[in-house]
Amino acid sequence: MIDLQDCFLKAIPERDALVNRASFVLETCQLLDIPVFFSEQVPEKLGPTLPELTEKTCDPFIFGKTEFSAWQNGPFQDQLREKNISHLLVGGIETTICVYQTIIAARGDEVAVTLLSDAIGCRRPEDVPPVIDTLQEHNTLYLPSETIFYSILQNVSHPAFRAFTQLVKKYNS
């Protein structure tokens, strides 16, 4: 999750919808034991990730950055290697700046990326389509979070299926 800090979220037209979907993603990651990473743009000046989001997971890796891309962050890279992560699920803000630059850098290093279409935001939504087109040209998947999580579960016999469907109901009501 990229830069979901209140100072930035205040400028996002669909702030509440983004926080809702990010919450869904984070609780689902917790349920499915998917590691969670939060980048924060200059947190000592701009503040932390929205606390209601970091509280959705019990062991997030939170790191500050000054670059727009989160990809070059050394501790983040160390965590990815340590956890042997080769595919990122990305959400956050802003789609046209930090999200874009992070994904382009990750794809440049041949890391697979899925951009969660319902867990991203931008001050100027009209700027998003060309960015998404470019990311897809760089082999980034662009899909809703439920699509991804149902794909991970694969069938109703998955041990987390019942709990997952409760999260779907919780965040779609």
Residue in the block written with tokens 């874009």: 100
d(CA 140, CA 10): 27
Return the pLDDT at 145. Answer: 98
Residue 173 has pLDDT above 80, yes or no: no
Q: Mean of the pLDDT values across residues 141-149?
A: 98
- The pLDDT tens digits for 35-69 are 999 999 999 999 999 999 999 999 999 999 999 99
145: tokens are: 């979070």
> Within 13 A of 126's CA, how many CA atoms are on the CB side?
0
- The pLDDT tens digits for 91-120 are 999 999 999 999 999 999 999 999 999 999
Crossing angle of the two packed helices 161-172 and 145-153, in degrees rounded to 10: 170
Return the pLDDT at 94. Answer: 96
Contact call for residues 60 and 86 (beta carbons, < 8 A): no
Residue 9 has pLDDT above 80, yes or no: yes
Phi, psi of 48 (to 5 degrees): -85, 175
